[in-house]
C-alpha cells in the first residue's frame, strides 16, 4: 500500500502540472496488455513498444515501470483468459492493445466487443486506469465487417470511463519504411513513431493513475 505522504506528493505535483519524478515518489506500474504489435515481434531488445515507452516516459521525468504483457498471436479472448495473472494487484494503469488478430482471423466483432468490454470493465472495477488502443479492420474484409468492428474501441472506452487512442498504428500502417517485410508489424523506428504519437495520451493515463 502506498503511504498517505506518497499520495499527497503525487497530487501536489499533478496540481502543478508536473509529472511524478523518481526523486519524489514510488514508481507507478503500467502494463501493456497486447499482442505482437506491442510485444516487439522480431525486434531487438529495447526496440519494442513497452521498452521504448519506458524510455520516453523516464526521459520526461516520470517514475514508471512499464511491463510487457504482450503475447504474439493473442486474440481478445486470449487476453481475457490471462487477464488476472497478466495484471497483478500492484498495477496502476493498463494499455489494452488487443483485437488485431481477431480481425485478421475474421472473428465475429460481437465476440471481440464482449471480450474487450469484460477486460476493461474488470480493470476499472479494480480502480485501474485504462487506455484502450484501437484497431481498424482491413477494408478487404468488407464494409459490413468494418462497420461492426471499427467502433468497438471507442464504445468500450466511453462506456467504462477509459481513455481512448483511436488507432494504435497511426502514422505507421501501410508505410513500408516503418514496417517489417510482412507489412503488418512495425520496425523499431515504427515503434518510435507510435510511442511519440501516443505519449500525450499515456501521460493523461498516468495522471489518472496517480490521482486515483
Q: pLDDT above 70 covers what percent of the chain? A: 88
Q: For this structure, is 192 an active site residue?
A: no
- Residue 18: per-residue pLDDT: 56
- Looking at the DSSP bridge assignments, the partners of residue 33 are 69, 96
Residue 161 · residue 124 · CB < 8 Å: yes
Residues 6 or more apart in contact with residue 125 via CB below 8 angstroms: none
Q: For this structure, is 36 an active site residue?
A: yes
Q: State the Cα angle at 156 between 94 and 14, rounded to 5°.
A: 45
> For 170-186, what is each residue's pLDDT tens digit?
999 999 999 999 999 99
Please pick, among 35, 38, 185, 192, the residue that the annotation labels catalytic.
185
**Matching residue, cell 494499455:** 95
Please pick, among 36, 51, 76, 86, the residue that the annotation labels catalytic.
36
Residues 6 or more apart in contact with residue 64 via CB below 8 angstroms: 27, 28, 29, 30, 54, 57, 58, 206
Q: For this structure, is 185 an active site residue?
A: yes
* Separation CA 10–CA 30 (nearest Å): 16
* Separation CA 93–CA 130 (nearest Å): 6
> For 115-174, what is each residue's pLDDT tens digit?
999 999 999 999 999 999 999 999 999 999 999 999 999 999 999 999 999 999 999 999
First-residue to last-residue Cα distance in the chain: 13
Amino acid at each position: 500500500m502506498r503511504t498517505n505522504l506518497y499520495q499527497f506528493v503525487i497530487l501536489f505535483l499533478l496540481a502543478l502540472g508536473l509529472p511524478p519524478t523518481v526523486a519524489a515518489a514510488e514508481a507507478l506500474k503500467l502494463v501493456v496488455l497486447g499482442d505482437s504489435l506491442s510485444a516487439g515481434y522480431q525486434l531487438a531488445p529495447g526496440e519494442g513498444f513497452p521498452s521504448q515507452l519506458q524510455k520516453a516516459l523516464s526521459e520526461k521525468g516520470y517514475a514508471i515501470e512499464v511491463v510487457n504483457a504482450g503475447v504474439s498471436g493473442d486474440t481478445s479472448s486470449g487476453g481475457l483468459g490471462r487477464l488476472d495473472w497478466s495484471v497483478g494487484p500492484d498495477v496502476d494503469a493498463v494499455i489494452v492493445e488487443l483485437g488485431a488478430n481477431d480481425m485478421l482471423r475474421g472473428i465475429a466483432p460481437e465476440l471481440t466487443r464482449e471480450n474487450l468490454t469484460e477486460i476493461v470493465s474488470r480493470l476499472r472495477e479494480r480502480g485501474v486506469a485504462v487506455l484502450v488502443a484501437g484497431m481498424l479492420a482491413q477494408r478487404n474484409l468488407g464494409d459490413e465487417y468494418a462497420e461492426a468492428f471499427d467502433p468497438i474501441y471507442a464504445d468500450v472506452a466511453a462506456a467504462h470511463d477509459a481513455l481512448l487512442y483511436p488507432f494504435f498504428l497511426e502514422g505507421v500502417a501501410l508505410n513500408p519504411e516503418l514496417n517489417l517485410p510482412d507489412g503488418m508489424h512495425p520496425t523499431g523506428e515504427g515503434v518510435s513513431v507510435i510511442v511519440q504519437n501516443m505519449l500525450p495520451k499515456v501521460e493523461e493515463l498516468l495522471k489518472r493513475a496517480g490521482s486515483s
